[in-house]
């Protein structure tokens, strides 16, 4: 017996299929529409450059890594991590695991070795439960983990970009980022759906202690 699709699911699917960014991603061979969020930020802020060491957190299905890898050139390195497995990308060191688990974090740290990182990208988001308070808390927790990782591994004057949802905990997190970086800018790329509360915090010039 085929399960009937809920009207809300059918409506989302129809919107998704009609989305110009979804169509453009398919046309260009990118794995997700999210690539255009990073593309817009890169074109405006030039955070990625040849030869950098970059870590991509919450990487699946790989769109951000797919976009970033050619920018970094032959001498650059890109480490990508996600709880979900995804297809390999040439030149990208992929780790499958939950970033909230110490064993997974240690695996990532062992791959990086004693190198300092130029840029940390975090497009991580929790699995949505539909309970706003829980989802917001989960989002902030992932942002906190990304910031802790960046503080431990970024080079002086390094860059962190993190996806965050506006709501409880946002202002406190923004204040924490501003204490660790010289500048923090809020970006809302055109590819972010207008009704979504997501924004990206672009933190530059890490104040290494």
Whether the bond into 61 is cis, omega within 30 of 0: yes
Strand partners, 199: 164
Q: Is 151 a catalytic residue?
A: no
Structure-token pair, residue 18:
């009609």
Residue 93, marked binder:
no
Residue spans of alpha helices (H) in the chain = 7-18, 20-28, 35-45, 63-72, 102-112, 132-153, 170-180
| CA 139 – CA 126 distance, rounded (Å) | 6
Cβ-contact 94, 68 below 8 angstroms? no
Cβ-contact 53, 115 below 8 angstroms? yes
Strand partners, 70: none
- List C-alpha distances in Å: 125 to 38, 91, 176: 16, 25, 19
Residue 135, marked binder:
no
- Which is catalytic among the residues 163, 175, 188, 190? 163
Query: Of 196, 194, 191, 134, nearest to 164 (Cα)?
Result: 196
Residue 82, marked binder:
yes
Residue 97: how many CB atoms within 10 A of its CB? Answer: 16
Please enumerate, by residue number, every residue annotated as part of a binding site.
62, 64, 82, 98, 123
Please enumerate, by residue number, every residue annotated as part of a binding site for S-adenosyl-L-methionine.
62, 64, 82, 98, 123
- Which residues have a catalytic role annotated? 163
């Amino acid at each position: 017996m085929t399960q009937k699709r809920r009207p809300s699911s059918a409506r989302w699917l129809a919107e998704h299929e009609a989305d110009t960014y979804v169509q453009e991603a398919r046309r260009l061979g990118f794995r997700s529409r999210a690539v255009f969020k990073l593309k817009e930020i890169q074109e405006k802020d030039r955070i990625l450059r040849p030869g950098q060491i970059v870590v991509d957190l919450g990487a699946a299905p790989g769109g951000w890594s797919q976009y970033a890898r050619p920018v970094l050139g032959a001498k650059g390195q890109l480490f990508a991590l996600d709880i979900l497995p995804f297809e390999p990308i040439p030149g990208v060191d992929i780790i499958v695991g939950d970033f909230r688990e110490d064993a997974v974090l240690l695996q990532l740290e062992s791959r990086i070795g004693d190198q300092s990182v130029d840029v940390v990208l975090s497009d991580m988001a929790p699995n949505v439960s539909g309970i706003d308070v829980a989802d917001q808390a989960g989002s902030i927790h992932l942002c906190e983990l990304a910031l802790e990782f960046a503080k431990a591994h970024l080079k002086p004057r390094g860059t962190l970009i993190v996806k965050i949802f506006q709501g409880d905990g946002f202002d406190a997190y923004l204040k924490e980022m501003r204490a660790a970086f010289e500048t923090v800018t809020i970006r809302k790329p055109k590819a972010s759906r207008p009704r979504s509360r997501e924004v990206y915090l672009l933190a530059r010039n890490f104040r290494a202690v």
